[in-house]
Structure 1
Amino acid sequence: MNILIEKYKGIHPGIILERLLKKKAISQRPFALSIGEHPQTLNAITKGKRKLNIALALKIEEKLSLEEGSLALLQTYFDIKEEKSKAKQNTPDLTLLRKSLFWDTDISKIDWQKKSIAVIKRVFERGNAIEMEEIKRFYKSDQIKKALDQTVRKPYTIYKNKENT
């Protein structure tokens, strides 16, 4: 199974399970019932929408005559891959940005690169000094300049015409 582990390392074990079931011509529903699981649970796992817990992995491995722990190990490698990809995502330090600054969206789901112009504009229009400094640290200065150049600033004060005074 070590070759199989290396081959499928980082792939959700449910996808591997679905392939194995197809290869052995076993339908998901009867298989799920045969191991005492709900078919919906097995379906969610094979679609990669749900994690494969160890107890279920052991049941599946026993029923399919797989090496013990192989599916659980694949789940672990998949979790490691997911965690590494989260760490690589560049996000500003969210502890320095008030959630109220982004009241209209979930701050944890913002794509900071695609929405950089909107983020920069909002922070520079409504943010405090700490938030502005964090945005300056996170984005390149040319990105900030580009975003702020696109901002239309309206004056908040009314200037008196000297001729009418």
Structure 2
Amino acid sequence: MDTLLKYKGIHPGIVLEREFKKRSLKQRPFAIAINEHPQTLNAITKGKRSLNTALALKIEEKMGLEEGILAILQTYYDIRIEKEKQHPETPNLALLRKSLFWDTAINHIDWKKQYKAVIKRIFERGNEIEKSEIIRFYGKQKVDDVLNSISRKPYTLSAN
């Protein structure tokens, strides 16, 4: 289970490739030994293909890994990818004026790391549409927290 927590959200192929290196195993002979196409195993270790349960069980058995660990890692990876789709890395840039970010290229902003500066700037200079988009992207609580930290009096967003 330590492996599960350590690698949660990482493609199981990357974990598998590390195991191969650690054990000095070659992928091609290993794939043939478990009656699998070497190209399939290679695509999995490069993170280009998902690892199905049947193959995960064959690999785990041959390598003496805990049963189900690779399949569970695949599931956690799939969950992470789905969450990233549901929560995009950037707000809807079509709703934000580029002129608000005159000092930087809007496409190069790290929206996760620079959230405080982004929220501050939008709420100082943005219009209602831009403010609404930032609230949708970051969440009302996070925006409230940032605005309260930069003002002396508590700031509460109006419920829209």
TM tier, smaller:
0.5 to 0.7
Q: How many residues align?
A: 104
1:39–1:115 CA distance, 2 compared to 1 (3 A): farther
- How big is the shift at 1:35? 0.4
What amino acid is aligned across from residue 79 of structure 1 in structure 2? Answer: D
Structure number with bigger Rg: 1
CA shift digits 1:90-137 (9 cap, x unpaired): 79xxxxxxxxxxxxxxxxxxx9538977xxxxxxxxxxxxxxxxxxxx
Closer/same/farther in 2, CA of residues 116 and 43 from structure 1, 3 Å limit = farther
Where do 1:45-124 residues align within 5 Å? 45-89=44-88, 112-113=92-93
Residue matched to 2:43:
44
Aligned partners of 2:95, 2:15: CA distance in 1, in Å?
35
- Please name the residue that 1:33 is paired with: 32
How far apart in 2 are the matches of 1:9 and 1:3? 10
Let me know the Cα RMSD of the aligned residues.
2.8
3-state SS in 2 of match to 1:50? coil
Where structure 1 has 5 or more consecutive residues not aligned to the other structure, the ranges are: 92-110, 118-138, 144-165
User: In 2 relative to 1, CA 37–115 (structure 1 residues): closer, same or farther, beyond 3 Å?
Assistant: farther
Kept in 1, the 8 Å contact 2:95–2:130? The answer is no
Could you tell me whether the CA contact under 8 Å between 1:90 and 1:112 is conserved in 2? no
What percentage of residue pairs aligned between the two structures are identical?
Answer: 60
TM-score, structure 2 as length reference: 0.58
- Shift of residue 89, structure 1, vs aligned partner: 1.4
Structure 2: 5+ residue stretches without partners = 98-128, 134-160
- Secondary structure (helix, strand or coil) at the match of 2:93 reads coil
* Paired amino acid for 2:32: L
Matched, 1:140 2:111: no
Aligned-partner Cα distance in 1 for 2:28–2:94: 41
Q: Counterpart of 1:18 in structure 2: which amino acid?
A: E
SS at match of 1:140: helix
